[in-house]
Structure 1
């Protein structure tokens, strides 16, 4: 009995993601949640740590659109990290028109995820310094609470980078030799 070699178009089997990567992907979605919930509180009319004068810009119609939109968009971007540890990160879901059912080229996932991780690290890298900046428009308690709610965002980029690296390692082409 001879073993047949799989056709060249068939992808090599990929190891399942390590448990730490799956947990890290879930954690990525959770670190975005506190700041998003805080913005939702502002939209619902709660000053959420702002003085009366400081809250005025958030009581506008524009703010009531962009703050929930930012919260939802941030959470959706964070949830994309799950694709690096789930089957839909390897095969495009069938319900997506024209490309559903196709294999995801690993670099088509790795490059945007790595660039996103780098951007998030740059954007949120100074969050631990929150309390060194003046926030006259906030109450002392509000300054403390908002600072605490935003601190998890510091981890968003590094967590995404770790899950991206795990995905890359599982999908890289191994050359014989």
Structure 2
């Protein structure tokens, strides 16, 4: 009898749906609400004529914007309404308990503004400026980029809040998403298989892009006209481009850590860390960030292509076509990161499931 009791008490306890109880994961929803509310109020200020509107025709580089010819008077009221409406959704997701509104509707309402920001307001300049920060070049950062980053973080928090809400209302653990039945849970073996394919894809795509930039730096006008290559050479653009491409290539090689042993245990040459386990968040957080930014950048190039921005550059395909494949890179990196998380997340401290 004692042995049976011990076995039973050691089993994970199913927390079930959390009703009316505050959960620290709900802080994500409140953070999303606050960020979206403040940003919505800022756009309301701009809608009423305030100075400093960062998007559309007022963009520092309007040629990259989806609203290049749309002024503040027309665009700001829409963005204000979008962010304020999203703040209401965030609040509904954060409040304890269930809503009368179906969970699918609330989750969809969270995904919509995220898609709008990723596909219209944000662009490749966030990723480019991140690379410049690592190169200690801060001059390229401008007001528009700062606002793009704030918008991306705000809707990112909203999406995370929607995930927590879906887990909470379905009876899953809000921390890890596991359920008592284990239905739909990928095994470490299956995650390793599809994660490996995704990781290799995430390595190949940026190397294809980098090969064009390295060729230009070496004097080979691969995919561009001789005239354009000469113009870039005079301004030393190809050296800078090769440097950025090299950073991207090195980052893509780090992706292999998601499927290699050294991505789980620090290698011998890392003095002071050798032999220690690599924290899961150390790999998951930056890889997730890069996957989002790379996808945003690629979507921008696809959008510009559909808008006809590159119609006069058909002979210079090397300057735009490689970037259009970036969403494949971003999605593959996200999948590889998810597989890495599934393989290494271990036993959840909240629900004790493993």
TM-score clears 0.5: yes
Q: Does 1:134 align with 2:305?
A: no
Residues 103-123 of structure 1 deviation map (CA, whole Å, 9 limit, x = unaligned): 111122212211222222222
How many residues were matched structurally?
A: 162
Deviation at 1:61, TM superposition (A): 6.7
Of 72, 75, 80, which aligns to 2:249?
Answer: 75
1:96 match: 270
CA contact (8 A) 2:206 2:326 kept: yes
Structure-2 separation of matches of 1:79 and 1:127: 24
2:291 match: 117
Matches within 5 A, 1:1-177: 15=188, 18-60=192-234, 62-131=236-305, 132-135=307-310, 138=313, 140-143=314-317, 146-174=319-347, 175-176=352-353
Tell me which of the two structures has the higher relative contact order, counting C-alpha pairs closer than 8 angstroms and 6 or more residues apart: 1
In structure 2, relative to structure 1, the CA distance for the partners of 1:49 and 1:108 (3 Å cut) is: closer
Residues 105-149 of structure 1 deviation map (CA, whole Å, 9 limit, x = unaligned): 1122212211222222222222323433434773x2323x54433
Structure-2 separation of matches of 1:85 and 1:47: 35
Structure-2 separation of matches of 1:101 and 1:171: 16
Structure-1 separation of matches of 2:311 and 2:217: 21
Normalization by structure 2: what TM-score? Answer: 0.41
Deviation at 1:92, TM superposition (A): 0.6
CA contact (8 A) 1:94 1:101 kept: yes
Residues 146-177 of structure 1 deviation map (CA, whole Å, 9 limit, x = unaligned): 44333321212111111111111111232149
Structure-2 separation of matches of 1:133 and 1:55: 22
Structure-1 separation of matches of 2:288 and 2:219: 37
What do you get for the CA RMSD once the two structures are aligned? Answer: 2.6
Of stretches 51-60 and 33-42 in structure 1, the one that deviates more from structure 2 is: 51-60
Normalization by structure 1: what TM-score? Answer: 0.77
Q: Mark the runs of 5 or more structure 1 residues left unpaired by the alignment.
A: 1-13
Residues 38-91 of structure 1 deviation map (CA, whole Å, 9 limit, x = unaligned): 112222223334445533342137334312212211111111111111111110
Deviation at 1:94, TM superposition (A): 1.0
Structure-2 separation of matches of 1:124 and 1:149: 9
Bigger radius of gyration among the two? 2
